[in-house]
């Protein structure tokens, strides 16, 4: 994993630094980019662009990532499209549904690949995520995927139910068999929206020493659970020397 420092952007977001895995036909980016949607640069553009030093390929297929708006401390968001537009530009779809929020955050934890590379199909090992060492409530698996290379771990995890034991306790769990990962902050999507009913609620989760901890679930409500929630992310593997 390397760091890529953006040379600029067209939506007034300030400095952007990605943690990246770069291969000749694969780019994985990790970063959260938060900005004020009332800023004039953002208001003036129809598509968001982040400018970076030379990328490994000219253009990519559409990649999927998350974005969310934060209003009164609550996060609501959706999935958006992104692509490598040219060797120096990462383009991100502009969705204006959260433009009246305090901030908008783009969540990069996604991969970019070109299309039309003729060659043998290669596959990675499909592992089922089995939650273990659950503390503070319930974390039940739904359909799950995880796989790993020497550099990164891919997690596509659907949880059928995530429930706090009480209002004040955060749920935490491990996933059996995962390799050691770097500490990581990710975003988990609920299956329902907070008011107003656009997108779905988004919650933050942390990975520390391979333990997943989810932020307080609906702290202002009388019930503290989510159903059919999940996350997709790429987490850097802990380097062998660091373990």
Partner 1 sequence: MKALPSIAFNDFSGTAGNVTARSTSGGTILSVRPFPSKVCSQSQRARRNSLATISRAYKQLTDTQMKGWAALAEKMKGTSLFGKSAELTAHNAFIRINSNRRMLGQPLLTDAPDCQHCIPAVTYSGILVTTRRVLVSGIESPSEAYRLAVKMSAGKSPGVSSAWNATVVITPGIADDWGDASLTTLYNDKIGFLPKEGEKVFVELCWIDTASGMTGEPERTVVVCSSEEQAEAEGFVERKQFTTGMIVNEEKKVLDMDIEIPGGTSQMVAEGTFDIHGYCSYFYERLAEDTDEMLEGSTMVFSRASSRPDFKPGMMSVTFSKIWESGRYHQQIAVSHRAGGYEQQCEIFGSNPLMAFNI
Q: Which residues bind partner 1 (CB under 8 A)?
A: 25-26, 60-66, 77-79, 81, 95, 97, 110-127, 142-143, 145, 147, 149, 154, 156, 158-159, 189-193, 197-200, 228-230, 232
Closest to partner 1 by CB, 3 vs 115, is: 115
Longest Cα–Cα distance in the chain: 54
Taking the C-alpha atoms of residue 128 and residue 210, their distance in angstroms, rounded to an integer, is: 16
Residue 220 is classified by DSSP as: T
Compute the least distance from the CB of residue 226 to partner 1, in Å.
10
Contact between 50 and 93 (Cβ < 8 Å): no
Compute the least distance from the CB of residue 192 to partner 1, in Å.
7
Instruction: Give the tokens for residue 32.
Output: 């959260």
Compute the least distance from the CB of residue 14 to partner 1, in Å.
25
Closest to partner 1 by CB, 73 vs 120, is: 120
Cα torsion angle, 82, 85, 89, 94, sign: negative
Compute the least distance from the CB of residue 22 to partner 1, in Å.
13
Contact between 96 and 199 (Cβ < 8 Å): no
Closest to partner 1 by CB, 137 vs 230, is: 230
Taking the C-alpha atoms of residue 172 and residue 139, their distance in angstroms, rounded to an integer, is: 8
**How many CB atoms within 10 Å of residue 34?**
14
Closest to partner 1 by CB, 50 vs 93, is: 93
Compute the least distance from the CB of residue 232 to partner 1, in Å.
6
Closest to partner 1 by CB, 30 vs 60, is: 60
């Amino acid at each position: 994993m390397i760091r890529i420092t953006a040379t600029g952007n067209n939506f007034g977001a300030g400095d952007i630094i990605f943690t990246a895995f770069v291969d000749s036909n694969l780019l994985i980016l990790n970063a959260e980019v938060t900005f004020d949607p009332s800023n004039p640069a953002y208001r003036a553009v129809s598509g968001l662009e982040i400018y970076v030093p030379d990328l490994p390929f000219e253009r990519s297929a559409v990649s999927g990532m998350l974005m969310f708006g934060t209003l009164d401390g609550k996060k609501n968001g959706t999935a958006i499209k992104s692509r490598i537009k040219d060797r120096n530009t990462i383009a991100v779809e502009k969705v204006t549904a959260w433009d009246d929020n305090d901030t908008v955050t783009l969540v990069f934890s996604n991969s970019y690949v070109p299309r039309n590379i003729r060659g043998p199909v290669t596959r990675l090992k499909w592992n089922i995520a089995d939650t273990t060492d659950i503390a503070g409530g319930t974390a039940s698996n739904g359909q799950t995927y995880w796989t790993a290379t020497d550099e990164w771990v891919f997690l596509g995890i659907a949880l059928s139910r995530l429930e706090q034991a009480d209002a004040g306790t955060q749920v935490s769990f491990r996933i059996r068999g995962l390799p050691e990962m770097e500490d990581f902050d990710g975003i988990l999507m609920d299956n329902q929206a907070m008011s107003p009913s656009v997108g779905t609620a988004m919650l933050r989760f942390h990975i520390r020493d391979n333990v997943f901890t989810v932020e307080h679930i609906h702290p202002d409500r009388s019930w503290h659970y989510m159903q059919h929630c999940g996350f997709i992310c790429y987490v850097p593997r802990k380097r062998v020397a660091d373990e």
